[in-house]
Amino acid sequence: MKKVLVFWAILTGAAVGAGAQTPDSLDRNRSKYATYHFEKDDQYQVENPYDLVEVQQPKGKKIKNVIFLIGDGMGFEQVNVGWVANGGKLNMTDRMPVLGASRTYCTDQLITDSCAGGTALAIGQKTKYGYIGIDENAQPVESNLQWAKRVKGMKTGVTVTCRINDATPADFCVHGPSRKDEEGLAAQYVDANVDFISGGGTHFWNQRSDGRNLIEEMKARGYTWVEKLADVPAAKGDKYLGLFEEYDMSPALDRGPVLMETTKKAIELLDNEKGFFLMIEGSQIDDYAHRGKVGQMCEELFDFDKTLGYVLEWAAKDGQTLVVVTADHCTGGLTLLKGSLEDRTVKVHFSTKGHDGIMVPVFAFGPGSEQFAGIHENAEIGQIVRKLLEN
């Protein structure tokens, strides 16, 4: 833990000096839609910082469960800005004993997207830009989540704050050459046999051009259907489908603790003797880095980090759960120009509307976490998870 905190202190010290969203386009690659409003959007102050959880690294070696968290677009820069804005503390930096880094380039481009970046994490292979759950030859590859179900008999789940058929959740659950085939990706979930599914995107489930109602099809297969946050705690059953908005979810401060509550419910429903594999995504860190809005970006990161805090508390008590936190890529070319730890203020500059090629962090906690220290290719993160599960 001390080595991690010293390394993080070096990084941070160098840096300090309502309702459903109607999408700009059905394509969630926000790069070409982002706009700048530097008068306010480059500054943020946190009035009420949150406290961190108190956890200790488990001493056991057995891995029964894997909880894999992805902060979409969350590079070292985003983490560091959030750390300053919360008064010099985050669960991911202060409570996870292992820190590594991941190179995110894909096979045909230096600057990757969520499709190829997420796929590398999911299947343990780099692939082409825009590819979802397939290798560079466009052949479907079983993800770690799918392998865990088929080989180990583990339960599986995904919970995100974007539409569930978007790139990152799709990387773990389905396959395809393009994120633009939104209806096709959504339809694959009917046969994907994922036990817990939560996100947005009802438009692609029950307002389809082919007339299908995928929600009714899932209910017919035994899924408990939830569409309101208030109904999440009481949900029961072996299969769960929660879709909360027509497209992506509202911003963090508007939507409420959806990611936290669905994560709690996922762990409750998935926990079993054979273990589970759960992927959690803080999807909209990326969206607001694309748009150059540091305040909303920070709140998305805080929502993600608070959820991580619950995961760490549960994993510490369980003792047999590996927790990994990383990102598919970094977004925005973010620079921290000014700030105050005491006042919890940041002033930043976004140098690009798109993604950038800087390495992203890898944090780990629990049995096997030491394997994630050091610098890795993104595909190696997926490979390490598989090897640990095989043992």
Catalytic (active site) residue 114: yes
Element (H, E) at 382: helix 378-390
State the DSSP H helix or E strand holding residue 300, giving kind and residue range, or none if neither: helix 294-318
* Pick from 345, 385, 337: nearest CA to 362: 385
Provide the total of helices (H) and of strands (E) in the chain, helices listed first.
15, 15
How do strand 155-163 and strand 65-71 relate by DSSP bridges? unpaired
Residue at 151: amino acid letter? V
**Measured distance CA(142)–CA(133) in Å, rounded:** 7
- Give dist(CA 101, CA 108) in Å, integer: 21
> Rounded to the nearest 5°, which phi and psi values hold at 357?
-105, 15
Which residues have C-beta within 8 Å of that of residue 88, sequence separation ≥ 6? 12, 341
Which residues are within 8 A (CB) of 266 and not within 5 positions of it... i.e. 6 or more apart?
A: 157, 159, 196, 198, 240, 278, 280
| Catalytically annotated residue among 114, 198, 250, 369 | 114
State the distance between the two ends of the chain, measured CA to CA, in whole angstroms. Answer: 25
What residue has token string 């594999």?
A: 277
Q: Cβ atoms within 10 A of the Cβ of 212, count? A: 15
Q: How many residues does the chain have?
A: 391
- Report how far apart, in Å, the C-alpha atoms of 145 and of each of 55, 114, 176 are: 26, 17, 16
Cα–Cα distances in angstroms (integers) from residue 19 to residues 251, 302, 306, 359, in the given order: 9, 21, 23, 35
Rounded-to-integer distance, Cα 246 and Cα 344, Å: 35
DSSP letter (8 states) at residue 189: G
Residue 368 zone, left/alpha/beta (φ > 0; ψ -120 to 50; rest): left
CB-count burial class (<10 Å; 0-12, 13-18, 19+) for 365 = buried
Q: Which of the residues are catalytic?
A: 114
